[in-house]
Structure 1
Amino acid sequence: MTTDSKQISFKFWTWITANADRTDISYAEEFQKYGQNGFDAVLINTGTDPKLLERLVPLAVEHGLEVHAWMFTTNRPGDEVAEQHPEWYAVSREGKSCYDNPPYVGYYKWLCPTRKESRAHILSLVESLAEVDGVTSVHLDYIRYSDVFLPIGLLPKYDLVQNTELPEFDFCYCDVCVNEFEKIHHKNPKDFEHPEIDMEWKNFRLNRIKSIVDEAYDIAHSNGKLLTSAVFPYPEMADHMVRQRWDKWKVDAVLPMTYHGFYNEELDWIGYATKQGVQDLVGKQTELHTGLYLPDLNPEQLKNAILIAQQNGAKGVSLFDGNTLTDKHLRVLKTLKKELNQ
């Protein structure tokens, strides 16, 4: 990374969602637990509320933790500003808007990454978080399109078969996206019999996401902060599943969600996905910290998963999420952190 964040040989991160009603004492106790058990960084979701973030930063820093301002990016559930503008929302190939027809689940409220107004709104939120003193990075989550393909392990939950790109999960076909694409390529994606095989249309959308990240990077750095992001497991997979080619982004660190259970994979797949991402980032300044899903890992599996990630080139691990850490997990982490940083 490129700012003055402290040098850590192997970093442990965790995630929390903040609530303004909680007391400072309860937050301090939580941060103390993380700091005493090997954690270096906490990603805090304040619902993009900079005031709540300002309140929590010193409490975390006091316990030796970096604070990363975790925000939902193109997916903006509960965004009161965006909800006043139905035209900002992404539109499926079926012609249905995420404003009133969210795909899969009710909180999938995806904004169009091409429309100037929705982009400006997203970037204004990045700036408001980047301006908070003491924050190490602005952390972009949900910086992508809605899932074209769900992880295979989740398909039964939705009673779905996804053997191709289905129209109801294929975004964005709003007038702005279609018109901007047509200006460049002189063809209309709504006319394609098989839009899933048109590389220009795919690349157009990959680049819409990249351009938001690159602008966010400049905003974060102009405020003396880093830019980090949660992403899908490795670039080729992220490209296929959610139109997210993160090895091409301007970003200081990525935390790929290498959740093996979601894909019906064994523990060693964490090593494969980590290594693939590390190799795709060769020659770039971006660090990779492997994301692990705690509910799928008992303490011994957690230890093995961390070692697998470290052996395959990860600079650290992020554990989702803090609420699911057991005392046994914490004991493993505290011991392992000492071993990894000797």
Structure 2
Amino acid sequence: MKSISFFVFIFCMFVSCSQSPDPVKIYAWTGANPENANELFTQLKSRGVTGVCCRDNSDNAEVARIAHAHGLEYHVWTRALCDGSFGDSTLYAVNRNGQSAYSKPAFVGYYKFLCPQKEEVFQYLNERYAAIADIPDVDFIHLDYIRFPDVILARGLWDKYGLVMDEEYAPADYCYCDQCVAAFKTASGIDVKSLEDPSKSEEWKQFRYNQITTLVNRLAANIHAKGKKISAAVFPGPTLAKKLVRQEWHKWDLDAVFPMNYNDFYLEGADWLEGICREETAAVNGKIPVYSGLFICPDWKHKAEHLDPEHHGLLPSEMEEAIHGSLRSGASGICLFTPGRMSEEHWQALDAAVKSIK
């Protein structure tokens, strides 16, 4: 009789343990250098952060080593196609008006996007990422700005730039360089410059989705060959990502994806994250983890006084809904933009939200 009772006890313990939820992974987009990394990573680790996406710089090796010493997963956060460092302006994307993103960028001065069709661009990124992948303590190469410029801005940004972007307008519609036009004609038989309204061509849209997908998957193959992983910060969706920035990211050979689910940019509340995360997790169909990117309000007590949506974001009172909604929809965790915007009230709300997950 005792042996039967013992067996039942062990069985119940096994069932209980097997049903325990996996720990919520918490990441942070941040910057670090050897001088501040120890203090920063100590603080983040104490807050429950499990990994960092740190801006690419010459100190990657040392910062990655320090991150590993603190038990943090390390992603090198790179601005892939948004790079104004080239002297050769012919490598940049060209809009429908024939203007180069190098000399006349859309919206803001740093929007100097390289053309994903150019082999020189692939070689540049491939060499850059190969060097990062050779760093022992780097776990992931993290791609940001792996897209075209926003052909349609998020609704919350229209007033900031004095624009109404209810369709694809020529100044922000890329890329119409000679090489892209020729490659599209070869693939489809269509001369895009002969179309009355190229923005209505589904073939032309798909061609540009494919340009980004091909570039990412070529890079991913080489990163994987070096024994490292690849992740990316992407626009929400992917339906919205396709519409706004030509990202069909569910077709990319990633090891993790970080959708930037910044609800305020879309004039949505924190409850919006549950629905958008459901779409995102369904799109990858369990193949890779989804980490829901949260945009934090840095001056939350005065949010209503700030007109610029860059100063908006989640209030401490919205953290639980944003986190629980993301996780209910299948996200494996969250990523904070950024820990520097987190107040003590935000951290307390995050901790309570994580601890209350059933």
| Alignment counterpart, residue 331 of structure 2, candidates 309, 314, 319 | 314
User: What are the superposed Cα offsets for residues 146-191 of structure 1, whole Å, 9 maximum, x if unpaired?
Assistant: 0010000000000001121100010000011011111122221111
Matched, 1:330 2:340: no
Alpha-carbon shift at residue 335 of structure 1 (Å): 4.2
RMSD: 1.6
Q: Which has the larger radius of gyration?
A: 2
| Alignment counterpart, residue 75 of structure 1, candidates 74, 78, 82 | 82
Tell me which residue corresponds to 1:31: 41
| Alignment counterpart, residue 296 of structure 2, candidates 290, 294, 298 | 294
Alpha-carbon shift at residue 217 of structure 1 (Å): 1.2
Tell me which residue corresponds to 1:304: 321
Alpha-carbon shift at residue 331 of structure 1 (Å): 2.6
Tell me which residue corresponds to 1:44: 54
Q: Which amino acid aligns with 1:325?
A: M
Matched, 1:66 2:73: yes
Tell me which residue corresponds to 1:178: 181
Q: Which amino acid aligns with 1:164?
A: E
**Structure 2 length as normaliser, TM-score?**
0.87
Structure having greater relative contact order (Cα 8 Å, sep ≥ 6): 1
**Structure 1 length as normaliser, TM-score?**
0.91
Residues 1-342 of structure 1: pairs in structure 2 closer than 5 A: 9-18=23-32, 23-24=34-35, 26-46=36-56, 49=57, 51-77=58-84, 79=85, 82=86, 84-282=87-285, 285-295=287-297, 296-340=313-357
Please give the alpha-carbon distance, in whole angstroms, between the structure 2 residues aligned to 1:141 and 1:172.
19
Please give the alpha-carbon distance, in whole angstroms, between the structure 2 residues aligned to 1:293 and 1:93.
32
Q: Which moved more, 1:195-204 or 1:64-73?
A: 195-204
Tell me which residue corresponds to 1:4: none
Paired residues in the alignment total 323
Unaligned runs of 5+ in 1: 1-6
Are 1:152 and 1:263, in contact at CA under 8 Å, matched by a contact in 2?
yes
Are 2:60 and 2:76, in contact at CA under 8 Å, matched by a contact in 1?
yes
Q: Secondary structure at the match of 2:59?
A: helix
Are 2:34 and 2:62, in contact at CA under 8 Å, matched by a contact in 1?
no
Alpha-carbon shift at residue 220 of structure 1 (Å): 1.7
Alpha-carbon shift at residue 45 of structure 1 (Å): 0.6
Runs of 4+ with deviation above 4 angstroms: none
Alpha-carbon shift at residue 328 of structure 1 (Å): 2.0
Alpha-carbon shift at residue 334 of structure 1 (Å): 3.5
Please give the alpha-carbon distance, in whole angstroms, between the structure 2 residues aligned to 1:326 and 1:8.
26
Alpha-carbon shift at residue 211 of structure 1 (Å): 0.8
Are 1:230 and 1:254, in contact at CA under 8 Å, matched by a contact in 2?
yes
Unaligned runs of 5+ in 2: 1-20, 298-312
Are 1:38 and 1:337, in contact at CA under 8 Å, matched by a contact in 2?
no
Please give the alpha-carbon distance, in whole angstroms, between the structure 2 residues aligned to 1:11 and 1:75.
28
